Amino acid sequence: MSQVQHHSITPNAWPAIATAALRVAFGVIWAVGAALTWSPDFAVHYVGYLHNAAQGQPGWLAGWFQLWIGLVTPHAVLFTWLTRIVESVIALALLTGFARKTLYVVGVLFSLLVWSTAEGFGGPYTVGATNMGTAISYVLIFVALIGIDSRGGHNPYSVDYFIEKRWPGWCRFAEWGRHKVIEREPERLPWGVQIPAMLAVLVLVIFLIGGLHSTLHVKAASPVSAAAAVSPLSLASSTPDAKPRDARLPPLIGTGDSVDVHLEASDHTVSIANGVNYQAWTFGGTVPGPIIHVRQGQTVNVTFTNHGTMQHSIDFHAAITPPSLHYIEVQPGKSIKFSFVANVPGAFLYHCGTPPVLLHIANGMYGVIVVDPATPLPPAADSYVLVQSEWYTQQVSGHLMGPNFERMSEERPDEVVFNGSAFQYRDHPLIAEAGKRVRLYVVDAGPDLWSSFHVIGAIFDKVYTDADTAHAQSGVSTYSVGPGAGAIFDLVIPEPGKYPFVDHDMAHASLGAIGVLEVRGTDGAPPPEPEAVAPEPTPAAPAKDMAAESAALGPYHFDATKGAALYGANCAACHQPTGQGLPGAFPPLKGNAAVLDANPAKHIEVVLNGLHGENVGGVTYATPMPPFKDSLNDAEIADVINHERTSWGNQGKQITAGEVKALRTK
């Protein structure tokens, strides 16, 4: 008998529960949208949303958008509040089931007449985005609710139902069917069905709230945002490029009273990291452009030819000359000739000065002109030119990058480099000889960032900062060079060794602004490699018995809160709170094979004993990881490992303190 009743109730009860579930879920979505309208940014940019939406719309919709812009602009505050109130009321009514018939009609009209101002009547359609347009989607859901509700009669899962029991006339606002007085309780689904349905709605609410952060901060899926998310250093190969740029100062162009300089602008693909290329605008096909080396007092006869696809120009920081005559725009296929006297010695930038200058320089149009003083500087055994600059990129395809003007404007570089390519002089050091003078001509092409130039393990013998060599500074360890500026650095290093040179802004160094000066002995032999030396014995504090500590805690149970705290205190600085690691320094733990391996032995051994020089995913990480066997007991190590195995999407098998103890003892 009960089985017959169950089957007789369910078919008639389903429309009510289905429309209620859809309505509540839809109400949660509206509630999130309504909450966002109460943010200050929504009010500040309300008119801007309409102007932004009007761009790129078809001509037949132009009048529609202009109507709304003209209507809203003088009354932005009023429309902001109307939008907030209407969205909040619709959200509350959907959640509670209030005035459903009226609500659904208002929802359709509101979606079409108001939200369509920000989208047109469809879209936005774009590769990578799956939505067909919020306005149309919402209209279809409201229509679906109308269709389901019109067949379901009185809905016991709504506020309307309780109002109708007291005031039957309320049906005119709430029901689509005939307005009947509620004479008996409508059929309901058993609690065994209602409770899972409620839990499903609760899960939906949790996911929507959890996704609110990404709603506010993650860029919409599109080819542009996807391309901008790829860093050239994330694509770089662990195998160094075979040939770095030659950094040696070339000889003087000529020794007469005048010299001829021919520069050509052209579009070329250049290397910016190991295996990563960039679509650049160049002088002479390289970034930086050719090094021009002249003597103070010489007349420099410049011929500049534009073989590029757009206007370009040239600006010499070493010249005193009318820019209105000589630094003018040169059309593709055209040339300009002018002369200037190199009266001022030093290391100077030359660059394209065509607006936007930021884009032209950041896209590779810069180089160096070195003007030797009439009274020569002390002779140097080796002289190098280092041009520091930044790359701001987005992915074009594969390992090919192109410019990202938004990053340029915000000064958020993907790479900071010497002579155009990240880490090239770390992989291929510059050579010098112990006890002999080495001269570095350092120019900061920018276009945005200062350089704090430093050679680790050395002090500059002289720093020439201007045209008067009498102003040279001595005993300087670090010297700042601003964008567009240059300085000359002299070093005399007595002992062979490898001396890194860096931009001491360490964020810049980590993005590629680091190289090595390899100082060899007088016989030309490479510097010796370091030897391990046994430390002097010192009285040590009694070592903690970590196994005993763990045993005293009793049976092991994974404490997720403690695991997260231990990870934050001991691991997060290197491997990052997100488990992503640091490129080239510390490997990622998210998706790491050892972390996901069902056999935890490797994972436990690394945490216990540390690691150095491991190849992870094709990248060798030279930065050592310290051992934790003497600072964490078995239970603590197990908590850390289990945190790593269950965080950031990892689904590794959890371990026990006993497994740690077994490997510690072994």
428 labelled binding-site residue:
no
**What does the H/E/C string look like for 235-295?**
HCCCCCCCCCCCCECCCCCCCCCEEEEEEEEEEEEEEEECCEEEEEEEECCECCCCCEEEE
| Of 81, 92, 118, residue with least CA distance to 32 | 92
Q: Are 337 and 328 in contact (CB under 8 A)?
A: no
Residue 504 marked ligand-binding: yes
DSSP 183: -
317 annotated ligand binder: yes
What is the C-alpha separation between 334 and 499, in angstroms, rounded?
A: 46
Query: What ranges in 299-343 are assigned the alpha helix state H?
Result: 323-326
Look up residue 189 and give its two tokens: 């689904």
Residues 503 and 426: their CA atoms lie apart, in Å, by 13
Say if residues 279 and 396 touch (Cβ distance below 8 Å). Answer: yes
Distance CA 476, CA 454 (A): 9
| Token pair listed for 246 | 């030659």
Q: How far apart are the first and last CA of the chain?
A: 67
Q: How far, in whole angstroms, is CA 665 from its chain's centroid? A: 44
Of the candidates 417, 415, 412, 391, the one whose C-alpha atom is nearest the C-alpha of residue 403 is: 391
Give the integer Cα–Cα distance in Å for 407 and 384.
30
Secondary-structure breakdown of the chain: helix, strand, coil percentages, each rounded to the nearest 5: 40, 20, 40
- Distance (Å, whole) CA 568 – CA 162: 52
What is the DSSP track for 197-218? HHHHHHHHHHHHHHTHHHHHHS
Work out whether the CA dihedral 212, 216, 220, 225 comes out positive or negative.
negative
State how far the Cα of 173 lies from the Cα of 57, in Å rounded to an integer: 37
Instruction: Answer yes or no: is 365 a known binding residue.
Output: yes
Report the C-alpha gap between 337 and 285 in whole angstroms: 20
| Residue 514: closest CA among 527, 500, 525, 524 | 500
Cβ-based neighbour number of residue 240 at 10 Å: 15
360 labeled binding residue? yes
Residue showing tokens 């074009």: 396
**CA-CA-CA-CA torsion sign (68, 74, 77, 81):** negative
Q: Which positions ≥6 away from 573 have C-beta within 8 Å?
A: none
Instruction: Centre a 10 Å sphere on the Cβ of residue 262 and count the other Cβ atoms it contains.
Output: 13
- The answer to whether residues 434 and 520 touch, using CB atoms and an 8 Å cutoff, is yes
Q: Are 585 and 621 in contact (CB under 8 A)?
A: yes
Which residue positions form the known binding site for Cu cation?
A: 312, 317, 351-352, 360, 365, 504
Which residue positions form the known binding site?
A: 312, 317, 351-352, 360, 365, 504
